[in-house]
Structure 1
Amino acid sequence: MEYITNSRGMKLFTCRWLPQNTPPKALIFLCHGYAVECSITMRETGIRLAKAGYAVYGMDYEGHGKSSGLQGYIPNFDDLVGDCSTYFMSVCEKHENKKKLRFLLGESMGEQWLFFYIGRSQPIGMELF
């Protein structure tokens, strides 16, 4: 778990759960709902998927969970999409992840984020579920 800083100077909390003693089958990116977070609400999902052999990554959006910002307030949804896109792509660009399959898992508002992300970025090699 670590913090990253977005282009607006906000600290965003990131989470990751990795399989033990084996390379991951694929990468899964969690997109949480409104007024919840990856660090707590989606933690069990991350743990279960890691035990099944997947590398799982998530981020508490601005104003959510352990990230900076007024709790529950999203000043600009496009910024949220950009923050997640930047983080997810930084994970994908790591040498060990370049050839891994990639999946996006959204719940509640996280599903809406996925549609904005897909429409805006047209990411190659990402599957929704």
Structure 2
Amino acid sequence: MTDKFSLTTSDGLQLNGASFSPPAEMKAAIVLIHGMGEHFGRYKHVIDFFMSKGYAVISMDYRGHGTSQGKQGHIPSYNQLMDDTDLLVKKAHELFNGLPLIMYGHSLGGNIAANYVLRRKPALRGLIITAPYFKLAFDPPAWKVAMSKIMAKILPALTLPTELELAALSRDQSVVDAYKNDPLVHDKISATFFINVHPAGLYPIEHAGDLTTKTLAMHGLADRITSYQGTTAFAQKNPQMIELKLCEGLYHEIHNEKEKQQVFDHIAGWLGKLLIP
């Protein structure tokens, strides 16, 4: 069963989301957070996987993404992303009261999810992050970083192309083609967005020792967008709480590779252990 909803942010934007419930008894609810420039509709097969295993799913298009309101590629502050996530988690508690909540975030969604768990300390049973944006797989030119800081003060909402290498998303060409042709996908980012999100990626690495939520961190070793070394550094800071799974040969969207069933099987196994009474 699918139910659509909208949430109103503290600055008056409407964020559109949906919840998905399997027909059988539910084990837990997954709070799904998408990545930069995309929308939760790209995760239909991921949602179907979770539901096939008895998990409900709830997600929304973040501000400036998908069908939600807000300027594409822009945020006023990182704290606003945390507040927006609060709305989604509260909605999850409302719809799935009594069920364990598990947060799942990919790429930028992994950045948001890990920061949210560490900064807001929500009542979650577990955290799953795939290819999290803790560090990029390449170093942005120093002049671009310096220019972003200046632009954030002069023209904070001005957006520029992300210059994302689309071929690095997946080795499955049909995934890349679908991304290119998706009208709800965008390639924009503001200087304010970048100077907030980029350093926020380091926060989970620096504070991983404070993590008290069981976490599964997965990353493709052939990822050219976000750094698997950053994810590894995060996991090594707290091996008691964080399980690291590195996937040989996989690109950025490990859930969209031809080996995605292996990825799903690993997640299902981890969830099964997590939810043992």
What TM bracket, shorter-length normalisation? 0.7 to 0.9
Distance 2:76 2:38 in 1: 16
Provide the residue aligned with 1:34 in structure 2: 36
The answer as to whether partners of 1:6 and 1:12 remain within 8 angstroms in 2 is: yes
Provide the residue aligned with 2:98 in structure 1: 99
**Whose helix fraction is larger, Structure 1's or Structure 2's?**
2
Distance 2:112 2:59 in 1: 13
Distance 2:55 2:13 in 1: 29
What is the percentage of aligned positions where both structures have the same residue?
30
Provide the residue aligned with 1:51 in structure 2: 52
Aligned residue for 1:92, secondary structure, equals: helix
The answer as to whether partners of 1:4 and 1:11 remain within 8 angstroms in 2 is: yes
1:15 aligns to 2:18 (yes or no): yes
Q: Which has the larger radius of gyration?
A: 2
Aligned residue for 2:39, secondary structure, equals: coil
Distance 2:125 2:89 in 1: 11
Distance 2:123 2:7 in 1: 24
Aligned residue for 1:42, secondary structure, equals: helix
TM-score (norm 1): 0.88
| Counterpart code for 2:101 | R
Q: CA deviation at 1:108?
A: 0.2
List alignment gaps of at least 5 residues for structure 1: none
**Structure ranking higher on relative contact order (CA contacts 8 Å, 6+ apart):** 1
Provide the residue aligned with 1:123 in structure 2: 122
1:81 aligns to 2:43 (yes or no): no
| Counterpart code for 1:78 | N
List alignment gaps of at least 5 residues for structure 2: 129-277
Provide the residue aligned with 1:65 in structure 2: 66
After superposing on structure 2, the runs of 4+ consecutive aligned residues of structure 1 that deviate more than 4 Å are: none
| Counterpart code for 2:60 | M
Q: CA deviation at 1:75?
A: 2.5
Q: CA RMSD in A?
A: 1.5
| Counterpart code for 1:110 | G
| Counterpart code for 1:83 | D
TM-score (norm 2): 0.43
